[in-house]
Structure 1
Amino acid sequence: MPVSLRPAAPAHAIRSYVCRAPGTFIWLGILFVTSVIMHQLTPDILERVLERRSTNIHNLLLSPGRVLLTSALWLDGGGWPLYVLVFNVFHVPAERWLGTRRWLAVMGVAHIGATYLSEGVLALAIHTGAAPHSAVNTLDVGVSYALAGVAAVLTYRIPWRPLRYVYAAGVLLFYTAPLFDHLTFTDIGHFSAALLGLACYPLTPRRKSDQAVAVKAS
């Protein structure tokens, strides 16, 4: 006799899926709320709201902690459904693999590190006259630096080394290509975030094979 699927089964599967990556879905929930707010505001008010949350040079000097946090709670380009897809491709497997704390640590390293590196380059450009002084207030919000870092650190989740190298090369190529076409400080930020994600290897779980190699080497 065939076993019928209980109506509660799909709901249980969805709940289990979400609970295994709580940080990702809490973040998506916040982004949904801020996205709704963005669509309700007039362009001039929205610009002022985002300016206060931007990790530009001016705000980083005045209140770095506040803007580093709040800038990652607003989307800059692309609709929320697109980020649902991207977050499920990269953040969900990363959080499950690393655990929420280490996933947050990787994102923090990528988001904060890339922000300061890119804004530092912009500050140097302003100092040398390559960029106008008004660039200290350039709008810089969004989740892309953290995403680049997480996409890069997932390199170490791939068990087969040749495929791991191919994936890492693909990530670096994706973030390197814009550097050679109308270079902007955000392009530098994305590339820096990917490198910082690769540098987060010490935060990744050690595989048994890697542990065995380390023991033999010692």
Structure 2
Amino acid sequence: MRSLGRWRLRPWHLFPTPTGAPFTFAYAAVLAVTSLIAAYADPALVHALHQGSSTDVAHLVRAPVLVLLASALWVAGGILAPYTLCFLFVLTALERRIGGPRTAVVFLLGHVLATLATEGPVGFAVLAGHLPDSSLHRLDYGISFGVAASLGALTGLLRPWLRWPVLVLFGGMLIQDLLNLTDPLTNWGHLIALAIGLGMWPVVRRWYREQG
């Protein structure tokens, strides 16, 4: 009962603050700016920025570090996309438990590894002649892989009564998206990123103990 009272008195802990979750707060501010640019700037400019930030095979071959970082500065679907709210809750909760730098590591690992795991096979398929050259060029940007990995890692720090429902709901949603075949590459990337986060349970639990 006492823990419930504490939660009611401090609901702002669900959201990032400059002192409580500085990494998430600063990152959210950057995403707010880029989302405003995407919403109100000239469409041709926005398309050029998105294209230049895309982690398709062509860009990954030419400038891998640049596009892997730049692609994480945009929210696919805009600031009101579901992953935006998930980003705020998940990264805030994770940062309050393991700290900002380590949260950034989890996010980047999911973002980078899931991107390479999905785009790499496309490149090899084109080389083998199984896909056309046009497959090397597509718009691929956003924060969702990093968020999925962060959620997977966070569940390792939650109590079982909350951990398993969260995993079942989120994992079920990702599987349903994959079965719908709306964007198979991205859908596989979400599942891979979640698996990366789950695989980090031993690491984040150790970080949590060190943080405490």
**TM-score range with shorter-chain normalisation?**
0.7 to 0.9
**Secondary structure of residue in 1 paired with 2:76:** coil
Q: Once the 2 structures are TM-superposed, how far is the Cα of residue 113 of structure 1 from its aligned partner?
A: 0.4
Distance 1:15 1:198 in 2: 23
Structure 1 range deviating more: 183-192 or 68-77: 183-192
Give CA-to-partner distance per residue, 1:151-195, whole Å, 9 cap, x none.
1111111223x5433433333222222222215211111111011
Residue identity opposite 2:100 in structure 1? T
Say whether 1:164 aligns with 2:160: no
The residue number in structure 1 matching 2:55 is 55
Distance 2:168 2:16 in 1: 33
**Do the aligned partners of residues 85 and 165 (structure 1) sit closer, same or farther apart at CA in structure 2, a change above 3 Å counting?**
closer
Task: Tell me the TM-score normalized by structure 1.
Answer: 0.79
The 5 A counterparts of 1:124-163 are 124-127=124-127, 131-160=131-160, 163=162
**Secondary structure of residue in 2 paired with 1:138:** coil
Show structure 1 runs of 5+ residues with no match: 1-9, 209-218
Aligned length: 197
Distance 1:165 1:137 in 2: 38
Q: Which of the two has higher C-alpha Rg?
A: 1
Distance 1:24 1:189 in 2: 22
Show structure 2 runs of 5+ residues with no match: 1-9
**Secondary structure of residue in 2 paired with 1:20:** coil
Give CA-to-partner distance per residue, 1:88-146, whole Å, 9 cap, x none.
32110011112112111111110000000010232244345554321211111110000
Q: Once the 2 structures are TM-superposed, how far is the Cα of residue 85 of structure 1 from its aligned partner?
A: 2.9
Distance 2:139 2:103 in 1: 26
